[in-house]
Structure 1
Amino acid sequence: MPVESIIKTLSSPRLSTYKKPNLCDASDEQSLGLYAWNKQLSGLFYPVLQVLEVSLRNAINNAYIEYHEQLVETNFPQQDWTKEKASIDRFWFCSSYTNQNNRPACQQINKVKGDLAREGKAITPDNLIAKLTFGFWVHLTDKNHRSSQPPANPPIIELWPSLNSLVFPYAKDLNGTPLSINHISSNIFEINKLRNRIAHHEPIWKATDLFDSDDSINTVVAHYEQCLKVIRWINPNNLKLLSVIDNDKLMGIACSQHTLWRSKMLASGLPSVPDITEWKERHEINTRRQGEVVSVMANYAIIRCKKSHQVFYTNKPMQKRRRAWPLSVGIDVTFIPKPAQVQGNHPNATQVKQ
């Protein structure tokens, strides 16, 4: 039976996480349905988490540079601005860490540098920023990066509260008062925990005080709203990236009793669900184009696409399986377009057939 087969693959201990009497009847079928619902929710959380991660890391880095450029303009004559701004450390998020003051951060930075080297990529600020984990940037908001008064330990890098208004310009309460970095940081740390739960396939609605399925849905809604709130604190316009892909609309549909009920009933209908076969054949776009040979030279031929009239180059003679056949002006052919091998040249026609 499909249910038994799937449970064996997922493992009973993993599925037991979803056997909650306040959410389902604790049967294998309904707990498997909750598992499927969690997969649906997880997929909808990834876009908002990605927007948040990119927004946060770039906002912090840009704010650091902007803040120190402002210091230059405040403390140096204008004729020295260019030189002094050029001396600002663009690797600031790496250069301050050592095994002594923050071993985990130092290890992650070294790993990222090694990964970039193996990939043949330059170790630039942009490449490092893109590779460092969300957790790395989350921890930049903790107490080790805030100004302190003696006898407290000095921060590794003093970022807060100096960067508050630059990184989170819209983080204000109902009275318009800027929120503290402590309040902002606690929200970001909670989101990081949520991200880790999703990555480890744990229930998104995980909580100790759930009474029934209404609470589970409200927990998911609260998590999603928290993500939107932090993005809004950084740049409200970034939320439009989620609107254009209907992520909010789809999450709203997923966070409903109807969707939850349908998910719990899904497993009972699994035997009638068709297998996924020939998926590639049904969705892959045929890129083969029709063309006409308009010129034949010693080492190549020119083919003009009949639909776009774009010109393509192809090597000559072409091979059809193991049998060579000549290209001549005026014959109709089909081909697969590929980018030019040499910059500035016409694109290539590959896999040419009569």
Structure 2
Amino acid sequence: MQIEDAVKCALSADRLRTYENAVADLDTRSAPLELYLWNARISAAFLIPLHIGEVVIRNAVADALTRIHGPRWPWVQGFADSLPSPTSGYNPRRELHRAAARCATSTAQVIPALSFVFWQKMFTQRFDVRVWSRCMDAVLPGADPTAPRHVTRAHLHNDLEQIRRLRNRIAHHEPIFARALDEDYAAIQRVVALRCTRTADWMAGHEGVTPLLHRRPR
């Protein structure tokens, strides 16, 4: 059995078909497994900026909540009541209650226990007055001071949605080669720069996404 056939059998024909079709559609000379490996490599390279972006933005939100509700904000009923609590679908209030109950007394433990979507939901319109009109300048000093806060908040929410979709595909080992990956990286860079431009520059000096973008199989 040829190595290509063995790998295709191990990974499954259905999984490889996406890459076979991409190579055929692009009329390239590359083999499907070359594209598969490149997809895996760039997915791995995104883990560093995704890591930094997620930690930075959740710390920014936690900073804002501390300024408004105090250091024990996960247990402040007023904050919990401000969160949406739909009867179906994702429920931020329920997630906060569960994380706060598990972690008992440590806000530092609650923060990483909350999902990425929880932090993203903090940038919906309902928090314009409750949070971002009060402390955006302090916790996101990289924001354009001439732009209305609600506009900055909306743009940030959109960037986080783009990042969340990329993050989920990578987490489930799905293809990302068809995405505009340069725009995905730019979204992460913007998010980090809102919190700290020096951290964004540091991340840019250590990320491996950009070099790989130029080495995609053709």
TM-score above 0.5: yes
Contact 2:74 2:80 in 1 (8 A): no
Shift of 1:25: 4.5
Selected match of 1:133 from 115, 123, 126: 115
- Report how many aligned residue pairs link the two structures: 209
Q: How does 1:28-177 map to 2 (within 5 A)?
A: 30-67=31-68, 89-92=73-76, 95-96=80-81, 97=83, 99-100=85-86, 104-112=91-99, 116=102, 122-147=104-129, 158-172=130-144, 177=146
Structure with bigger gyration radius: 1
Identity of aligned residues (%): 23
Cα distance, 1:193–1:231 mapped onto 2, change above 3 Å: same
Shift of 1:24: 5.3
How far apart in 2 are the matches of 1:91 and 1:59? 18
Q: Which runs of 5+ in 1 are unaligned?
A: 69-84, 148-157, 208-218, 265-354
Cα distance, 1:24–1:251 mapped onto 2, change above 3 Å: farther
Cα distance, 1:224–1:89 mapped onto 2, change above 3 Å: closer
RMSD: 3.0
- TM-score normalized by structure 1? 0.52
Structure-1 residue corresponding to 2:174: 202
How far apart in 2 are the matches of 1:206 and 1:111? 37
- Please give the secondary structure, in 2, of the residue aligned with 1:143: coil
- TM-score normalized by structure 2? 0.80
Between the two structures, name the one with larger relative contact order (CA 8 Å, sep ≥ 6): 2
Contact 1:254 1:260 in 2 (8 A): yes
- Please give the secondary structure, in 2, of the residue aligned with 1:141: coil
Shift of 1:35: 1.3
Query: Which amino acid is 1:91 matched to?
Result: W
Selected match of 2:188 from 190, 214, 227: 227
Q: Which has the larger helix fraction? A: 2
Contact 1:168 1:233 in 2 (8 A): yes
How far apart in 1 are the matches of 2:155 and 2:34? 36
Shift of 1:229: 1.2
Q: How does 1:230-245 map to 2 (within 5 A)?
A: 230-243=191-204
Cα distance, 1:229–1:22 mapped onto 2, change above 3 Å: farther
